């Protein structure tokens, strides 16, 4: 009985350590993704997203990976400054759900603007990297 308890305790500690490590990796990856959005860094954005990306906007528009990247190539999406707040990261196995408040100054199609959105992204560990599978934005409720 003591051996079983000890094995269970060790397994729990190893799992908790892996979850913390994964959360740190995801946090770094999200920061890298946000920086790539600000820089319109197509190469990094492409490397951090799956070929089957589903990228949802608060307007209801859904883009695939090619469409998502094209908005940065064309200037239709241009983030000048992005701040994220209240980020949470929930890990289940090799999948992470990240939520945060996304507050950004934009210059889409050379028109300055500002957006505040609630964002949920879904990331999957593939090899040693975390890859974005899905993103959905919603407008925060009016206060």
Q: Is the pLDDT of residue 17 over 70?
A: no
More confident residue, 113 or 5: 113
Chain-wide mean pLDDT for the chain? Answer: 91
For 72-122, how does the pLDDT look when each residue is reduced to its tens digit (9 = 90+)? 999 999 999 999 999 999 999 999 999 999 999 999 999 999 999 999 999
Q: Is the pLDDT of residue 16 over 90?
A: no
pLDDT at 141: 87
- pTM, two decimals, is 0.85
Q: Label residue 78 exposed, middle or buried (CB < 10 Å: 0-12, 13-18, 19+).
A: buried
Does domain 2-138 fall under CATH 3.40.50.9100? My reply is no
46, containing H or E segment: helix 42-47
């Amino acid at each position: 009985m003591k051996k079983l308890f000890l094995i269970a305790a060790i397994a729990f500690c190893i799992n908790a350590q892996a979850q913390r490590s994964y959360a740190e990796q995801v946090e770094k990856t999200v920061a890298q993704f946000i920086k790539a959005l600000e820089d319109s860094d197509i190469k990094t954005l492409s490397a951090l997203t799956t070929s089957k990306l589903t990228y949802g906007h608060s307007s209801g528009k859904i883009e695939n990976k090619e469409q998502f990247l094209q908005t940065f190539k064309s200037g239709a999406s241009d983030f000048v400054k992005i701040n994220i707040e209240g980020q949470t990261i929930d890990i289940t196995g090799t999948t992470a759900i990240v939520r945060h408040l996304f507050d950004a100054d934009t210059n889409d199609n050379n028109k300055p603007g500002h957006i505040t959105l609630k964002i949920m992204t879904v990331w999957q560990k593939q090899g040693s990297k975390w890859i974005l599978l899905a993103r959905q934005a919603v407008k925060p409720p009016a206060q």
